[in-house]
Amino acid sequence: MNIIKSIAAVGAGFVATAVLSSAADAVLQAAGVLPQEHIYVAAPVIALVIAYRTAFSVLGAYLVARLAPNHKTAHAVGLGIVGSVGSVITGVATMNMQVGPLYYPLALAALGVPAAYLGARIAQRDVSARPHALAATPA
């Protein structure tokens, strides 16, 4: 049963990260900040995209760590590894397609695992900072 919970936790974090990233992309595209087919824009705009995608990665890993049945940091870092590998694959696959600078997917790949670890640490801090309400409640 724990394997199903583990898969569900990582899946939830992945979906949350993907949905939030896609929504932010759509908002920026609708506002005319990002073009539709490529990401050849000014470096500050790419830095903005990298920043919000990294923040969403932290949030996704936080969700994984909160939902995972055990080994919470390992689950969250696993999501970070999946994201980093995906970014490298995307960078290699689109290298000759002229869709954006190569440093963009490489930056996302480099930040994936640290962002996931940060999300897991925040989740651990949140859990340990709360008093155990159920243990203090009279029966």
pLDDT score of 68: 95
Mean pLDDT, 10 residues at a time, the chain of 139 residues:
92 97 95 86 91 98 96 96 96 87 92 98 85 51
pTM assigned to the model: 0.87
Domain ranges of the chain: 2-121
Cα 116 from Cα 77, distance rounded (Å)? 5
Cα 105 from Cα 119, distance rounded (Å)? 20
* Tokens 């002229």, located at residue: 98
Give the containing element (helix H, strand E) for 28: helix 2-30
CA distances from 130 to 9, 53, 118, 136 (A): 21, 28, 19, 12
pLDDT score of 137: 47
39 is written with which tokens?
A: 């990401």
